[in-house]
Every structure is written in C-alpha cells, then in structure tokens.
Structure 1
Amino acid sequence: MAGDTRWSSHLRSVSSLIKIFGPACEVLLKIIDVGTTSSQRAKADSVYQVMTSVEFVFILHLMKETMQIIDHLYQELQSKSQNILNAMNLVSSTKASIQQYRGDKWDDLLTNVKSFCEKRNIDVPDMNTRYVERRVELLILGSPLDPRAARESFRINDICQLVNKFYPQDFIDFEKEQLEIELNHYKHNVVQHSSFQALSNIFGLCQWLVSTRKSTIYQLVFRVIVLVLTLPVSTAATERAFSAMNIVKIRIRNKIEDEFLMNSLIVYIEREVAATISIDSIIDGFRDSKTQRVPF
C-alpha cells in the first residue's frame, strides 16, 4: 500500500499510522534496544525521534484531514467516463470545503494534536498563545485588503478595526475618521475596477496602485496596505519605533546623532516602563556607577 501512488492509498496509510502509532513506536524502541546492527539501531532511533515530535504529529493529522476532503474529488477524476461540468463543480466544492476547514476547524485540529501528544507523553512546547492569537487576529482583520478576498467581501469595518487595534500611532484621530470615508470610495472606484480583477495578491495590488497613481488618491488606504505588506518582517516594537522616529527626529533636529537618537527612541517607545522609573533613582544609579567630579 505504501508504494501505491494513488491518493486513496496514501490516505489509508496515514490513517493506519495514526491508529497504530503506539505499537509502531514500541517496535522502534525494541529495535533500538536489540537491533542486530548498529546501523539498524541508529536508523530506528532517528525515525523514533522524528515520530515522537509534535511537528510530525501535527503534519500527520493535517495530512489526514486534507486528504479526506480531497479524496472524493480524486476518486471521481480517476473514473474513465467523466462529465466536465460535474468535475468542475467538485473542484469548486472541494475548494470551498478546504476554505471552510481553515476557518472553522483549525482550532479542533490543534486540540486533537495536543490531546494525541499528551496521551503518548509527547512534549508540547508553549506556543505563546497570546502572540499567536494577536497575529492571527491581525491577519484576519487585514485579509479584506487582499484582492482575492476583496472581490468576495470588502469588509470596511475590519480594516478600520485593524488600524485602531494594531496601528493607532500611525494615524491621527482625524485620519481614522477619514479612512472610513476613503474606504467607501475605494470600494466602488478601485475594487470594482476591471484591472483590479486580475490582481492576485497584496504585493501586486501595491504596485498597481503606484503605477496608476491611485496611491496618491487613496493615501490612507495605501498606508494601511503598506503596513500590512510589511507583516513578515515587522513586530510591534519596530512599528512603534518608526512612528516614534517621526516624532523625535523632526526637520529642526535632522542632524541628531545616532546614539542620542537611539536613546531618545528607547525612552519614547518604552514609555510605559520609563514612567515607572523615578528621576531620583536615575540620579542615584548614575552617582553609584562611578565617582563623579562634582558631588550631588
């Protein structure tokens, strides 16, 4: 079965491995202890280390769920006589099922993986839930800016909420009010544009807006798009740093040295922490660090 290239055989293999996961691990442990050769024991140990990792368990369950969704489509496409219209309908429904799984069943998958690991004493590392939840929320709120999602549903409220929750320092209050108005014009004049229909990602959208000069007409929307586009390399700290730089290094202080600028930015960015430090403690710390010529 494992050598069969048909999709259903792979689904059966993955499902079987999940069912016999415990006995399979016991066999590997037996080979590690009493294997006939050192090479055999080393290979068994290597396989065992991979199988008992949370990454392997996660991929194993994800493959099973994905293959189950696609299996019906695959079975129909393998039939000798095929109706093209029915095949296209199956492709559409399969795509919709996968999308629904991503939206509604992801938490269930993570719960199943965690439960599976706990029953078999597989360590599940701390996933930093709070960070993941905020990152996922950010991606969900920013998804309407993606041309593919925008064509289906351009959710203005989500974009406004994105700005208020994640980029409050990049927009003044007046700009936040104007953003909603601008988004309504953007929805009718950009999303409905014929050329917009050919765009497939946010990066292409950004380039198209610049080339058509619509970025100057919808400056606030373009600013949000640029912020979302920098997500892979951005963090909350760097976003706050760029916003703070516009405040600290203004035109009349454009020759400020890097060291002084960095120190000023740290105090501004981490102002919540700085507020807990009293001036007296700073003076005491400076005095105790080394002997000063002028006593305090």
Structure 2
Amino acid sequence: MWESVLEVLENVCNDGNVTEQRGIALGLIQRMESFEFIFILHLMIKVLGLTNDLPNVLQQKDQNIVNAMGLIVNVKELMQDLRENGWGTFLEEVRSFCVAMSVSVPNMEDSIPVRGCSRRGGQLVTYYHLYHAEIFIAVIDLLTTEMNNIFSETSTKLLRCIACLNPRNSFSRFDHGTLVRLAQIYSNDFSTSDHLILKEKLRIYIHDVRRNSDISNCHDLPSLAVKMVQFDKHFTFPLVYRLIELALILPVATTTVERAFLAMNIIKTYLRNKIGDEWLNNMMVCYIEQEMFAKIDEDIILQCFQNMQNRRIQFPPCSN
C-alpha cells in the first residue's frame, strides 16, 4: 500500500498537467518519506489496532454489558502497557520500516529546536524527547484520559451492577451482593427498611423466576419487565421491579442529558453569551421538545401572548 501510494504520487508529479497538483504531489512525497510521518503512521496503526474493536462491540444491540466492560478494562490495560513497556519495540518497528523504505532515521540523541520556535531562540530538545514524550506518550495519555472520562469507575460499576439483572441464560449473571450495591447507588429510591430486606427479597425472586419458564426464557430487561407485569410479579417483588425500572430508564436519562448539552451549545452561541438562565432554559425546552411544540397551534400562542399585557402592536387575529 505504501509503495503504491508513492507510485501514484510520482506519476502525478511527473505527468500531471496542472502545476498546482504537481506541487501538492511533490510535497506529499517529501512528507511521506520523512521519519516523523512514518512514526505517526505506525503509532496510529498501533493505537487503532488496540481500540478499533471497542466501538464496534459497544454498538452491538445485544452486547453483554459484562463482556463489554471487560473489554474496556482490557483496552485500558493494554494502552498502559504500551505506554510503559512498548516504546523500545515500537521504535524498532519504525526503524525497520524506514530502513526497508530507504528513509533516513535520525539519531535520538541529536538536538532540534522546540516545536514552534526558531533556532535563534536556542531552545533545543532531543529527538528522543520529541518522539517519545511529545508524540508517543502524549497520544496514549490523551486516549486514556478520554476513555476514563467516558468510562469512569462509577459508570463502569453501575453498568456491572445492571448487568446482574439480565435474564439471559436463565439469569446466569444474577448476583445478590451486586444488586444490593446497585440499590445503594440509588439510595434516594430505597428506604432504610428496603435495604434491610432487599437481599432476602432477591433470593426469593431469583428462586421464583427461574422456576417460571416464561420469565426465565427472556433475553433482555424490557421483555423481563413486560413478563413481570404480565404475571403480576411487579406486585410480588416491588423492590426488584424498581431496580429493573431504574436500569431501563438509565439510557433514556443519559440521552436526555446529552441532548440538553447539545441544545445548549446550539442556542447559547458567542452572540448570545449574556442570555439569562431562565430564558436559556425556556429556549432549550422548546428546542429539545420541538416535535411536541410543532403540534401546537400558532394562533393559540399568539393569543396567549397578546393577552398577557397591552401592547402597542396588535397581533393578527386568530384564523378560523
């Protein structure tokens, strides 16, 4: 692939009719045959090789939460291992590729100006510092920080707890202690007495539902909730059903928050940086629930606004 791209660029550079295209091709050839380009390219391949499966797995509709969380932990550990122990092997791979492609390899102990500074300033760093600290370590730390922000310890713990409610394989992931911790996370939804009796209620619940083939054959939480209502189990095990409800509304709550932040970024621009909180809140509600507001008759809104107080200009009369 590398040689094919260079060959195409050479053809454009030698046979191109447009001077601008020939100049771009020449610049790309010089860029591709530099150690920095090859280093960054190999780093991208290495990092994407470690993380590529993660988004694909998380996007699967029927993905097991426990397996997904395990994959996240594995990716984090592999990234940390690459950061601490992978530099030597990685650099040797880049050097071998450069030698095979006749690309000059700089001496890591030589000095070069700091990025963004000229040689006149006298601020120098070694090639080792540039490629190891400013590129290799910086990229890995950036990705690790992003993953920690998205998959924090609290959110990972919460998802592991919710996974214990999954009815797949006859409730194979069910764990009393983990579900008790889930109730502790939602402490406002459970009273002190609820916490005291929850563990025993969970024991009775799992014994009961495993004997019911209609419930034990469920494959996800929504179908489990439907079956529990169908067989009146939500009255028999109200605390367990409350846990299931909390697990089901979590994706909805998360999506609602994301939509709210998106709406805020769209509405509160630099031209509206002094907008008040109440006005911003009202505008965000209108934006987020625009499908519902689209069904409201505009004449009713105009009439309501007109009746709030006397105005210099009267709105057009309502259409009949």
What TM-score do you get using the length of structure 1 for normalisation?
A: 0.46
